[in-house]
Amino acid sequence: MKKGKIEPAAENPYELLDLKVTKVEKWAAGVPAVMAAFSDLLEEKVPVRGTRALFKMNQAGGFDCPSCAWPDPDDERSPLGEYCENGAKALAEEATTKKVTAEFFKNNSVYDLAQLDDFKIGRIGRLTEPMYMPKNGTHYQPISWSDAFKKIAACLNALEIPDEAAFYTSGRTSNEASFLYQLFAKEFGTNNMPDCSNMCHETSGTALLPTIGIGKGTVKLNDFYDTDVIVIIGQNPGTNAPRMMSALEKGKKNGAKIIAINPLPEAGLMGFHNPQQISGVIGSGVKLADLYLPVKINGDMALLKAIELLLLDFEKKSPNEVFNHAFIKEKTVGYNAFIKQFEDYKLEDLAEASGVPLSAIYNAAQMLAFKKRIIVCWGMGLTQQPNGVDMIREIVNLLLLKGSIGKPGAGVCPVRGHSNVQGNRTMMINERPSDVQLDRIQEVFGFKPPRKHGYNVVRAIKAMQEDKVKVLFCMGGNFLSATPDTTYTARALRKLNLTVCVSTKLNRGHLVHGQEALILPTLSRSDIDMVNGEQQFISTENSMGVVQSSKGMLKPVSDKLMNETQIVCRMAMATLGTRSVINWQRYHDSYDAVRDDIEKCIPGFENYNARVRQKEGFYLPNAARDGQFITKGFGDRAPFTLTTIPDDGLAPDEYMMATTRTHDQFNTTIYGLDDRYRGIKNGRRVVFMNQIDIDKAGFKAGDRVDLFNYDDGIERIAPLFIIVSYPIPEKNTITYFPETNVLVSVNNVVRESNMPASKYVKIKIKKHDPKIYERMDQL
């Protein structure tokens, strides 16, 4: 092996490792989670640096965990640190002192690097200096920061119209950097701001804004501690929001019941050993779900309607005890039409379509019928369904019937993903900014922002393919791997004049690039951020609308990293020069200056600089939380919405596939090859199937298969997967993303929100053909 050259784990990049399948766990966290948290820090060889940082994570005066957006307790925080196993893994990723140097890029061509799996790519280390890929180049080479900005400026200014550029955002970017980023895009002249929300909770916002008047959740963390019923639908808290488990535990101890709705009996829904309490580590833990409903993929709408139909029956028998008629009369519209639809539904048909036994649905309805405070939480299991917008409207319908929204202990709780994805939106990272927002920008800054709506993620990919977009700038994230239809997207990216990625770690998105490409290394959340000799803090907004400061504490791995705020300012100065009416240098030198101007533009940020310095930050206004529904067209009332039940129409040899996360990844960042709670060790190319389906198709667990999708009359192939027999409804399958994003058609989208419907993919499963690779495009 050549010195400094990194080799793939297997000659064929799809080759399977030694996969082991063990038992499905019924409990989340506990001792294994504590061990796993520290073992990742050890593996990255940063035990002291990492552990010190771990105890500062999510503490007042410390830094916000870069992993999920679950809030921190307003008051009492655990003295042991407010972190979880997966937060520790995210930190280990950032805290690593391993480096990707210019020397490394010299020794490894992009082609060579592309042969590595995502796990190996991520493990190489932190990016350390700006790198440039020239036209027809094979290796990235170092470039100075000022030359990098000159290249970007030259490419942007050479475009015929500003709309030939697109500016992507992933959800870790701070409020300060996000605000400047959208301001720059608008002054440059485009609303092409695709962002990770377009693949995540866009569906939630699309449903909530017209129904309750705000596109965000209405509950606070404290509401979980004193409520009657918590419904968790299409979300896997044990893996993706582990600190939510402590809230569920506390709620249960205070008498709440939990209903879990999921095709998989996820460990994190069933039970919890709290790793931050001695009793949780050595004791028996708490049982979480009181009722588990094994819904079919996309069977949720039928299930929700079945529950509502039963509630209507109960209400007829006990008038005024089940529905809250005072609330319905005063705060809603459309009740009669909503109730009328149930004349057309039969309970048995609804149960059949949902996949859940009628007796279990009956139990769910009974648990809800006479309770007044209900919280409904959801995640990607709903938002990534073609009718996800309608399903969330149906959740609102249910809560409106019960008057269970806009009061303590009740409401909607979309559990956000990225740690500042909600803040990005609040800062106007949006391809469809409202007129009110644009008017404000115009008033405060004196330039005319573009009014034409821009491209979201799916539209941006198509626009690149059609040569309408020629430059893609990515503020974080991994555009190639996170988006659908990987082969199509890769082709679109390769056509671009320039791709720019502001990143902390190397990822596959850097290896499939435009004709020219730049990688700009940036600080992460846990890094110390010095500006003009003074240590800065940034701010973020969590899933419940709390804005808080975050201050890193680790020495950056290289002195050539630049913070995201300064990257935006330097790009703006280089690109716009004297054309700009904005003093970018002022922002470049002070985050306080940025916050002062955010305050001028965005409601709810009054006195931002003072309030963000308060220990617990501050809540943004949320009228729906306070019981006021300021909706368009309905005055101060929330409308009931009429929705329909979808028809899945699977052919006899087709299966429905939902793509999901393992316990060992953060989106496209692969922490390890296990999925502990689901009993998978050392492998990601698995397809979970029901044993009855395995038998019917003449397969055996452990068989090697290829997966296919045929949407739009095109053959899409994901080669070499292993069948795992799993407790999942018949005809349903689960695989992990990003591996199966190749199977998701760019046209398979959620109605109205236009997100990829990546939990609703029709596939065929065939015995593995060793020659399959000949039929595939090389990425």
Ligand X SMILES: Nc1nc2c(c(=O)[nH]1)N[C@H]1C(S)=C(S)[C@@H](COP(=O)(O)OP(=O)(O)OC[C@H]3O[C@@H](n4cnc5c(=O)[nH]c(N)nc54)[C@H](O)[C@@H]3O)O[C@H]1N2
Judged by CB under 6 A, which of 125, 130, 162, 381 binds ligand X? 381
SS3 647: coil
| x-or-dash string of contact with ligand X, 44-83, rule CB under 6 A | -----------------------xx---------------
738 binds Mo ion (CB under 5 A): no
How many CB atoms lie under 10 A from the CB of residue 119? 17
| x-or-dash string of contact with ligand X, 723-742, rule CB under 6 A | --------------x---x-
Judged by CB under 6 A, which of 113, 124, 441, 475 binds ligand X? 475
Q: Residue 345: left if φ>0, alpha if ψ -120 to 50, beta else—which one?
A: beta
| Beta bridge partner(s), residue 471 | 165, 498
Q: Under rule CB under 6 A, which residues in 249-278 are in contact with ligand X? A: 261-264, 266
Nearest distance in Å: CB 660, ligand X? 4
Judged by CB under 5 A, which of 29, 133, 159, 200 binds Mo ion? 200
* Cα 293 from Cα 157, distance rounded (Å): 55
475 contact, one of ligand X, Mo ion, none, CB 5-8 Å limit per kind: ligand X
Question: What are residue 306's phi and psi, to 5 degrees?
Answer: -65, -40
Nearest distance in Å: CB 196, Mo ion? 6
Q: Say if strands 534-535 and 141-142 run parallel, antiparallel, or are unpaired.
A: unpaired
Q: Say if residues 409 and 399 touch (Cβ distance below 8 Å).
A: no
How is 275-315 classified by DSSP, letter by letter?
TTSHHHHHS--EE--SEEE-PPTT-HHHHHHHHHHHHHHHH
417 binds Mo ion (CB under 5 A): yes
Q: Which is nearer to Mo ion, 417 or 514 (CB)?
A: 417
Q: Which is nearer to ligand X, 86 or 497 (CB)?
A: 86
* Length reported for the chain: 779
Q: Which residue has the tokens 């391993």?
A: 98
Q: Under rule CB under 6 A, which residues in 324-353 are in contact with ligand X? A: none
Nearest distance in Å: CB 425, ligand X? 12
490 binds ligand X (CB under 6 A): no
Contact segment (CB under 5 A) with Mo ion among 205-213, 411-419, 464-472, 669-677 equals 411-419
502 contact, one of Mo ion, ligand X, none, CB 5-8 Å limit per kind: ligand X
Contact segment (CB under 5 A) with Mo ion among 275-283, 284-292, 413-421, 607-615 equals 413-421
Question: What are residue 669's phi and psi, to 5 degrees?
Answer: -90, 120
Residue 30 Cα distances to 26, 110, 267, 441, angstroms: 12, 41, 12, 49
Q: Which is nearer to ligand X, 331 or 505 (CB)?
A: 505
Residue 50 Cα distances to 46, 84, 90, 195, 528, angstroms: 5, 14, 11, 30, 14
Q: Residue 506: left if φ>0, alpha if ψ -120 to 50, beta else—which one?
A: beta
233 binds ligand X (CB under 6 A): yes
525 binds ligand X (CB under 6 A): yes
381 contact, one of ligand X, Mo ion, none, CB 5-8 Å limit per kind: ligand X
670 binds Mo ion (CB under 5 A): no
Nearest distance in Å: CB 306, Mo ion? 29
| Rounded-to-10 torsion of CA 275, 279, 280, 282 | 90
SS3 498: strand
54 binds Mo ion (CB under 5 A): no
Q: Which is nearer to ligand X, 412 or 638 (CB)?
A: 412
Contact segment (CB under 6 A) with ligand X among 150-158, 475-483, 598-606, 638-646 equals 475-483
Question: What are residue 142's phi and psi, to 5 degrees?
Answer: -65, 150
Nearest distance in Å: CB 24, Mo ion? 25
Nearest distance in Å: CB 189, ligand X? 23
Count of residues that bind Mo ion according to CB under 5 A: 2
SS in 3 state form for 546-588? EEEEECCCECCCCCCCECHHHHHHHHHHHHHHHHCCCCHHHHH
Q: Which is nearer to ligand X, 159 or 391 (CB)?
A: 391
Q: Which is nearer to Mo ion, 108 or 198 (CB)?
A: 198
Nearest distance in Å: CB 85, ligand X? 8
Contact segment (CB under 6 A) with ligand X among 134-142, 202-210, 377-385, 440-448 equals 377-385
Q: Say if residues 372 and 403 touch (Cβ distance below 8 Å).
A: yes
Q: 639-675 burial string, b = 16+ CB within 10 Å, else e? A: bbbebebbeeeeeeebbbbbbbbbbbbbbbbbbbbbb
Kindly report whether the peptide bond that precedes residue 738 is cis, defined as omega within 30 degrees of 0: yes
| x-or-dash string of contact with ligand X, 156-195, rule CB under 6 A | --------------xxx-----------------------
Question: What are residue 737's phi and psi, to 5 degrees?
Answer: -95, 155
| Rounded-to-10 torsion of CA 414, 35, 670, 693 | -70
Q: How far is CA 382 from the centre of its chain?
A: 13
Nearest distance in Å: CB 323, ligand X? 24
Q: Under rule CB under 6 A, which residues in 549-608 are in contact with ligand X? A: 564
Q: Which is nearer to ligand X, 422 or 507 (CB)?
A: 507
* Cα 365 from Cα 368, distance rounded (Å): 5
* Cα 195 from Cα 201, distance rounded (Å): 11
379 binds ligand X (CB under 6 A): yes
Nearest distance in Å: CB 207, ligand X? 15
Count of residues that bind ligand X according to CB under 6 A: 61
Q: Which residues bind Mo ion (CB under 5 A)?
A: 200, 417
Q: Which residues bind ligand X (CB under 6 A)?
A: 67-68, 86, 170-172, 196, 199-200, 233-236, 239-241, 261-264, 266, 295, 297-298, 300, 379-381, 384-385, 417-418, 475-479, 482, 502-505, 507, 522, 524-525, 564, 658-661, 665-669, 737, 741, 744, 758-759
